[in-house]
Amino acid sequence: MPPGKYIRTNKIRREQSERIKNQIKNGSIMPFQKGHQWSEEIRKKISLSQKGRVAWNKGKVGIYSQETLAKMGVSMRGKKHKEETKKRIGNSVKNKFREHGYLSFLSEKGKEILKNNWFKKDHSTFWTEESRKKASFNRSGSKNPSWFGGKSFEPYSIDWTPMLRKEVRERDCYTCQICGNFGKHVHHIDYDKKNCSKSNLITLCIPCHMKTNFNRENWLDYFKNKTHERL
């Protein structure tokens, strides 16, 4: 057949469909089966063959109907990635974010919406009430990466008094011990609310106090070294 652009008519499509059905019946080709598991070797070959190829729908908007999008959503609901796949996706996203910034994840339409709505004080035009409730529910309690078994609900010791906090602030000269800016928050170094000895308390500003809720082991080491330097 000479090179060029060909249009598939309904007649050609029907003929191809019949031909494929006959090939499946004869056993010359394998049909796609729902739930079929490919071997590791075949999966690697498929992955290598697709590496470097640009997806046909990349950057395109409005190519799927609402009905098709709904079907795709239902088909993916409840599916879970393997741990290895989650790590690979996570590393890919982190690298992309590090190299190109968060805007690289958005389509042109998404960037326009962000530009017009996100930096306004009222974000109600950006997130619907239903979306906000879903996001809040999906990151609450044990589903939140900062969850530590409900430690924030534990009561403070009776020694945790306004006078004690004032003494710690005055000792640190109302200075955040991380960034050096003005600080009023008093932080428990070992995250134990009942340990209110002054050696376990340190002054922080609001942004730095929020940061200490993540990577707690690293912050424990940081404050431990900070305490040694002070001594």
Please say whether the beta carbons of 182 and 174 come within 8 A: yes
Other beta carbons within 10 angstroms of residue 226's beta carbon come to: 14
Helix (H, G, I), strand (E, B) or coil at 112: helix
Q: How far apart are CA 90 and CA 59, in angstroms?
A: 21
Identify the domain containing residue 198 by its residue range: 155-230
Residue 70 falls within a domain, yes or no? Answer: no
Residue 186 falls within a domain, yes or no? Answer: yes
Task: Choose between 122 and 88: higher pLDDT.
Answer: 88
* Residues 6 or more apart in contact with residue 175 via CB below 8 angstroms: 181, 182, 183, 203
Residue 80, pLDDT > 70, answer yes
Residue 202 falls within a domain, yes or no? Answer: yes
- Cite the beta strand spans of the chain per DSSP E: 185-188, 201-204
Task: Choose between 57 and 71: higher pLDDT.
Answer: 71
| pLDDT tens sequence across 174-200 | 999 999 999 999 999 988 888 999 999
Residue 33 falls within a domain, yes or no? Answer: no
Residue 171 falls within a domain, yes or no? Answer: yes
**Which pLDDT value is given to residue 176?**
92
Structure pTM?
0.40
Residue 76 falls within a domain, yes or no? Answer: no
Other beta carbons within 10 angstroms of residue 209's beta carbon come to: 18
Domain count for the chain, please give it: 1
Max CA distance (Å), the chain: 90
Residue 92 falls within a domain, yes or no? Answer: no
Residue 142 falls within a domain, yes or no? Answer: no
| pLDDT tens sequence across 10-56 | 777 778 778 877 776 676 655 555 566 778 888 888 888 888 888 87
